[in-house]
Structure 1
Amino acid sequence: MNKIFLDVETTGLDFLKDKIIEICCLKINYKNSKEELFHHFLNPKIEISKGAYMVHGINNKFLKNKPLFKEIVIKFLNFIYNSKLIIHNAPFDINFLNKELNILKFNKINKYCYKIIDTLKLSKKIYKDKKNSLDNLCKKFNLKNNRKKHSALIDVFLLKKVYYELYKKYNKIKLKIY
């Protein structure tokens, strides 16, 4: 089963009115452990909120000549098909993706992938009352994190490292329970 680490950046926090402006997927091929990248900036055709810009630093001028989601959707769905998606705070990304898919009359994302794993949910099982942002988990696991702003491209590589640390930790806890 291929694993895909997925992240998006958006024009804001409200999936009902905001749009995806960056999407990145890092696929780990289960047969040979080779990595394959799917990465696109997207023109949202709406203004990026000031708050979102402060988080990721992406502006509308930069996105002006980028493709629309509908221009990359088939490549995206083929890329993730029958894979395990690993996402930090999955409901956020999934809501945005499902909205975009719905607009284009496609099924919800879970119809195209094998399974969705939320590393935020997993981290909360392990660290119950802790802050579990990607940045905090990188600190907790002593992982190098030089990002100044959020970037789907950078975040999928951080997510991959965090996931494997969480997976090891979760399996140790699970073994102690039984």
Structure 2
Amino acid sequence: MRQVFFDTETTGLSPEQGDRIVEIGCVEMVNRRLTGRTLHLYLNPERKGSEEAIRIHGLTDAFLADKPVFAQVADEFLAFIEGAEVIAHNAGFDVGFFNAELRRLGKPPFHTCVAKVTDSLLMAREQFPGKANSLDALCRRLEVDNTKRTFHGALLDSELLAEVYIRLTRGQDSLVMHAGEEGGSGPADAALAADALDLTQFSLPVIEPADDECTAHARVLTELDKSSGGKTVWRRWETAAEGAPSA
């Protein structure tokens, strides 16, 4: 499975009002591993950037003056994302800008070039309802190091998003595969191939929880059910079990 994480920086918030893309960052992942392939482009937007946008990303009109325009890099960008699942944080914002740029060139809309568009912001809102789900907030919550993010930068933000996405979707702590994990070939893998230990030789004690521990556990489950909007599986099982006819 090929995925491309991408981000843009722009002159403002509205492509309908003529705002343009000034930076594109893309990071490729195949089978949930970064390949090392990236695409990073600065663009001349052919218009002035707003003061608020420049304050956020730091890309001044003078810096962008000698950069290529979107028309000069469009084919390179489309070739990089072609056929991939593309993932962005608040994807509608970025896709809206790309569609505006593609319309100017008479090219097909963004979604026709890719296999799928995934919005990681919507994923985060479902997983963490009622909480802040900006990229910075997710980095803090999921313990992704974003200390280098002094300005918003398209490539850095794409790299951070790839790490956040892995933790959102599987709970894996890192994109780095250590020795002993799947696909490794170190001493730990030899240990995994050893005969399985016979656990029947052990007699394990069963420690029943105290009443206050049961109460605390029930309180935590109730809070989890509340924060998920009543989507916890065990509540549905409990309801189904209570409504089942007795034998």
TM-score by length of structure 2 reads: 0.67
Alpha-carbon distance in structure 2 between the residues aligned to 1:30 and 1:21 = 30
Per the alignment, residue 102 of structure 2 pairs with 101
Per the alignment, residue 58 of structure 1 pairs with 59
For these two proteins, the number of residue pairs brought into alignment is 173
Compared CA separation, residues 128 and 9, structure 1 to 2 (3 A): same
Alpha-carbon distance in structure 1 between the residues aligned to 2:40 and 2:34 = 19
Q: Deviations over 1:85-142 (max 9, x none)?
A: 0100000000000000011011111100000110000000011101100000000011
Query: Out of 155, 159, 162, which is 1:160 matched to?
Result: 162
Alpha-carbon distance in structure 1 between the residues aligned to 2:96 and 2:167 = 26
Per the alignment, residue 38 of structure 1 pairs with 39
Greater shift, 23-32 or 138-147, is seen at 23-32
CA shift, 1:31, in A, is 10
Secondary structure of 2:27's aligned partner: strand
Instruction: State the one-letter code of the partner of 2:166.
Output: Y
Secondary structure of 2:8's aligned partner: strand
Structure 1 unmatched ranges of 5 or more = none
Matched-pair contact (CA < 8 Å) for 2:44–2:65:
yes
CA shift, 1:34, in A, is 1.8
Per the alignment, residue 14 of structure 2 pairs with 14
Matched-pair contact (CA < 8 Å) for 2:20–2:97:
yes
Matched-pair contact (CA < 8 Å) for 1:137–1:162:
yes
Alpha-carbon distance in structure 2 between the residues aligned to 1:30 and 1:129 = 31
Matched-pair contact (CA < 8 Å) for 1:3–1:85:
yes
CA shift, 1:63, in A, is 0.5
Alpha-carbon distance in structure 2 between the residues aligned to 1:29 and 1:42 = 27
Higher relative contact order (CA 8 A, sep 6+): 1
What are the residue-to-residue correspondences of 1:21-170 with 2, within 5 Å?
Answer: 21-30=22-31, 34-146=35-147, 147-168=149-170
Matched-pair contact (CA < 8 Å) for 2:6–2:155:
no
CA shift, 1:35, in A, is 2.3
CA shift, 1:177, in A, is 3.5
Alpha-carbon distance in structure 2 between the residues aligned to 1:80 and 1:138 = 25
Per the alignment, residue 206 of structure 2 pairs with none
Alpha-carbon distance in structure 1 between the residues aligned to 2:70 and 2:46 = 10
Matched-pair contact (CA < 8 Å) for 2:7–2:158:
yes
Matched-pair contact (CA < 8 Å) for 1:29–1:35:
no
Percentage of identical aligned residues: 36
Alpha-carbon distance in structure 1 between the residues aligned to 2:67 and 2:86 = 25
Superposition misfits of 4+ residues, deviation over 2 angstroms: 29-33
Q: Deviations over 1:25-53 (max 9, x none)?
A: 11123498522011100000100100001
Greater shift, 4-13 or 30-39, is seen at 30-39
Alpha-carbon distance in structure 2 between the residues aligned to 1:164 and 1:128 = 19
Structure 2 unmatched ranges of 5 or more = 172-227, 235-247
